[in-house]
């Protein structure tokens, strides 16, 4: 049996800061041949500079990640695909039990990767100062829940404005609930490989927590804003963790139950106080035993008269490659930022002061993670006091620390100049008659419509009919049950809150269905 549809498209483009315009991909037709177990995809490829592109085909069968086996593909795929219309890809999907539960993705990369340095240069001192002032308010789950709610909403709104996939994870503590807030920039090539940028957004009860940890939150917000403009080979997640001050509760929840089974967390960049700086001799102290554990770092401190003028990069034994990558990003993109790396043996139990943030939850689960910090009370005497205010922080150091984390995240995620289009095969179901003829004559009006859509059914036998409106990515946007009826009846479907565009109205009656194209104008 053959099924076909002419879909609309979802087009992804790289940021305006890229060296040239990203290519664009438009899926124009999808054909499923159940007898041959193939999906045939037609697409148009455009590139402003007419560069040949590398075209990738991906598929998802779990509704989440594009990790299905697509080794049996042929057609206009791979390197050297010239721009043009009518390009085709054929996928032999084999013995998949339900091909209509799949999504497909076509990606085109012209090879002109965006400049990471251009991304770094978008981190602006004045903007970072404003962000920090906005976040540095009292915020505690019991003494200042309104502050917690305000920063939660700031994270949600900023991640949404950055074009990220936004989710929350409920976290409960002593009868209260404050969520982890998560934004995702899905990788176009290896979406299962994920790097996390995070900072906890709570503070202790007696302070506005400018350094601890408004700095980490403000940096996370700005890095998300900038990197959300770009596309990457690997995925990025930006997370505001809750209840860190109560014992790393939010990150514990996330490591236990927030990571999807298909996802591989390749590295975590956890920002824990990145704004306090001092060039005064003996302004930096260290815990006991550090001269034995980290002789090279202590030698560097001694040579600089124990000045607190550096970012500390804390990793464990497993995280040494991640630490090396971070230092490389600093060398390349933020050489003015002084930093000292501490690689603690094992999971850091020998140096508990280096486990006092959300990164340690990932260490304990065997994942690579870094804590990026100014050293908390070993440098900043205002730690956990009402004196932890923005005026005590060094904006240039804070801005450079943010640049370093952004550079490392971008380098690890691997920017690409790519366009992509995705299509949900579930939207093919019911475009043609399947199994049984739909038991009614159906029409819709007005079409196009703005606020209300009327569905007129005639010649019906008595049974329940369900009306569902889907966008052409397969997302349900509206729907209702139509009462059991004989003969002819007209039903109203409210579409006032639905964005302008092309949709499919799917009418289902038992095992049969039919679909009608709907245009919504604004």
456 vs 235, more confident: 235
pLDDT at position 12 over 60: no
pLDDT at position 439 over 80: no
480 vs 315, more confident: 315
- Helices and strands, counts by H and E, the chain: 10, 28
Residue 151 and residue 240 in contact, taking contact as beta carbons nearer than 8 Å = yes
Q: Domain 430-520 belongs to what topology?
A: Immunoglobulin-like (2.60.40)
pLDDT confidence band for 420 (50 / 70 / 90) = very high
Task: Convert the pLDDT of each residue in 28-61 to its tens digit.
Answer: 988 989 889 999 999 999 999 999 999 999 999 9
Q: Which helix (H) or strand (E) holds 105?
A: strand 103-109
The average pLDDT across 457-463 equals 67
How far does Cα 490 stand from its chain's mean position?
42
| Residues in CB range of 356: below 8 A, 6 or more apart | 272, 376
CATH fold match for the domains 2-112 and 116-416: no
Question: Half-sphere exposure of residue 456, counting CA atoms within 13 Å on the CB side?
Answer: 5
Q: Which helix (H) or strand (E) holds 470?
A: strand 465-471
Q: C-alpha angle 230/236/238, rounded to 5°?
A: 105
Pick the CATH number of 116-416 from 3.30.1390.10, 3.30.1490.190, 3.40.190.10, 3.40.630.10: 3.40.630.10
pLDDT at position 501 over 50: yes
pLDDT at position 430 over 90: no
Task: Convert the pLDDT of each residue in 84-138 to its tens digit.
Answer: 999 999 999 998 988 988 999 999 999 999 999 999 999 999 999 999 999 999 9
Cross-strand pairs, 504: 470, 517
Closest listed residue to residue 335, CA positions, set 132, 125, 120, 18: 120
pLDDT confidence band for 19 (50 / 70 / 90) = low
pLDDT confidence band for 489 (50 / 70 / 90) = confident
Main-chain phi, psi angles of 378, to 5 degrees: -75, -5
How far does Cα 440 stand from its chain's mean position?
43
**Paired sense of beta strands 264-271 and 369-373, if any:** parallel
DSSP string across 127-160: HHHHHHHHH-S--BTTTBHHHHHHHHHHHHHHHH
pLDDT confidence band for 483 (50 / 70 / 90) = low
pLDDT confidence band for 481 (50 / 70 / 90) = confident
The average pLDDT across 372-388 equals 98
Residue 421 and residue 459 in contact, taking contact as beta carbons nearer than 8 Å = no
Residue 190 and residue 266 in contact, taking contact as beta carbons nearer than 8 Å = no
3-state secondary structure labels for all residues of 52-104: CEEEEEEEECCCCCCCCCCCCEEECCEEEECCEEEEEEEEECCCCCCHHHCEE
313 vs 484, more confident: 313
Peptide bond preceding 446 in cis form (omega within 30 of 0)? yes
What percent of the chain is predicted at pLDDT more than 70? 92
Instruction: Give helix 395-413 / helix 215-227 axis angle, nearest 10°.
Output: 40
User: Given this model, what pLDDT does residue 2 score?
Assistant: 37
Structure-token match 């889907």, residue found = 470
pLDDT at position 80 over 50: yes
Query: 47-51, 163-167, 459-463: which range is least confident on average?
Result: 459-463
pLDDT confidence band for 1 (50 / 70 / 90) = very low
User: Given this model, what pLDDT does residue 436 score?
Assistant: 53
Torsion sign, CA atoms 162, 165, 169, 170: positive
pLDDT at position 248 over 60: yes
163 vs 437, more confident: 163
Strand ranges inside 365-464, DSSP E: 369-373, 415-416, 418-424, 441-445, 452-460
pLDDT at position 464 over 80: no
Residue 102 and residue 58 in contact, taking contact as beta carbons nearer than 8 Å = no
Query: 198-202, 210-214, 226-230, 485-489: which range is least confident on average?
Result: 485-489
Distance between CA atoms of residues 111 and 90, nearest Å: 24
pLDDT at position 370 over 60: yes
Question: Half-sphere exposure of residue 328, counting CA atoms within 13 Å on the CB side?
Answer: 11
pLDDT confidence band for 463 (50 / 70 / 90) = low
Chain mean pLDDT for the chain: 91
Is residue 481 classed exposed, middle or buried when 0-12, 13-18 and 19+ CB atoms within 10 A define those classes? exposed
Residue 132 and residue 215 in contact, taking contact as beta carbons nearer than 8 Å = yes
Task: Convert the pLDDT of each residue in 172-193 to its tens digit.
Answer: 999 999 999 999 999 999 999 9
User: Given this model, what pLDDT does residue 77 score?
Assistant: 98
> Around Cβ 6, how many Cβ atoms within 10 Å?
13
pLDDT at position 461 over 70: no
Extents of the domains making up the chain: 2-112, 116-416, 430-520
The CATH architecture one would assign to domain 2-112 is Sandwich (2.60)
User: Given this model, what pLDDT does residue 147 score?
Assistant: 98
User: Given this model, what pLDDT does residue 513 score?
Assistant: 77
């Amino acid at each position: 049996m053959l099924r076909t549809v002419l879909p609309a498209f979802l087009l992804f483009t790289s940021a305006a800061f890229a060296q040239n315009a990203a290519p664009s991909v438009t899926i124009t037709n999808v054909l499923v041949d159940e007898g041959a177990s193939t999906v045939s995809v037609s697409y148009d490829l455009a590139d402003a500079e007419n560069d040949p592109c590398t075209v990738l085909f991906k598929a998802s069968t779990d509704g989440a990640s594009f990790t299905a086996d697509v080794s049996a593909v042929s057609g206009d795929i791979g390197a050297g695909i010239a721009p043009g219309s009518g390009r085709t890809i054929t996928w032999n999907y084999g013995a998949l039990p339900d091909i209509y539960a799949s999504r497909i993705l076509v990606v085109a990369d012209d090879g002109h990767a965006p400049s990471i340095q251009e991304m770094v240069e978008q981190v602006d001192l004045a903007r970072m100062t404003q962000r920090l002032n906005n976040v540095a308010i009292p915020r505690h789950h019991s003494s200042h829940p309104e502050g917690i709610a305000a920063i939660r909403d700031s994270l949600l709104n900023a991640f949404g404005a950055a074009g990220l996939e936004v989710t929350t994870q409920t976290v409960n503590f002593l009868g209260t609930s404050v969520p982890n807030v998560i934004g995702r920039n899905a990788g176009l090539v290896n979406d299962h490989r994920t790097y996390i940028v995070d900072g906890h957004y709570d503070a202790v009860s007696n302070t506005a927590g400018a350094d601890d940890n408004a700095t980490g939150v403000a940096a996370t917000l700005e890095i998300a804003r900038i990197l959300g403009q770009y596309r990457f080979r690997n995925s990025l997640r930006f997370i505001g963790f809750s209840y860190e001050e109560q014992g790393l509760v939010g990150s514990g929840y996330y490591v236990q139950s927030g990571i999807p089974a298909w996802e591989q967390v390749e590295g975590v960049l956890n920002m824990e106080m990145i704004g306090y700086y001092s060039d005064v001799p003996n302004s930096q102290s260290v815990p006991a035993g550090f001269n034995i554990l980290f002789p090279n770092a202590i030698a560097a401190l001694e040579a600089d008269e124990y000045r607190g003028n550096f970012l500390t990069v804390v990793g464990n034994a497993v995280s040494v490659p991640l630490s090396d990558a971070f230092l490389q990003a600093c060398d390349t993109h933020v050489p003015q930022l002084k930093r000292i790396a501490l690689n603690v043996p094992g999971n850091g139990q020998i140096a508990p002061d280096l486990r006092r943030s959300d990164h340690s939850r990932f260490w304990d689960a065997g994942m690579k993670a870094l804590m990026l910090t100014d050293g908390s009370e070993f440098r900043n005497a205002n730690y956990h006091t009402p004196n932890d205010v923005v005026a005590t922080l060094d904006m240039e150091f804070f801005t450079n620390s943010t640049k370093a984390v952004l550079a490392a995240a971008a380098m690890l995620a691997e920017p690409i100049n790519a366009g992509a289009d995705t299509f949900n095969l579930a939207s093919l179901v019911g475009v043609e008659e399947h199994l049984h003829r739909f038991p009614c004559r159906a029409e819709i009006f007005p079409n196009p419509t703005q606020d209300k859509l009327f569905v007129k059914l005639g010649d019906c036998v008595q049974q329940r009919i369900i009306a569902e409106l889907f966008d052409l990515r397969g997302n349900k946007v509206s729907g209702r049950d139509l009462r059991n009826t004989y003969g002819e009846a007209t039903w109203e479907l409210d579409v006032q809150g639905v964005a302008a565009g092309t949709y499919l109205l799917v009418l289902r009656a038992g095992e049969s269905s039919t679909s009608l194209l709907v245009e919504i104008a604004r």
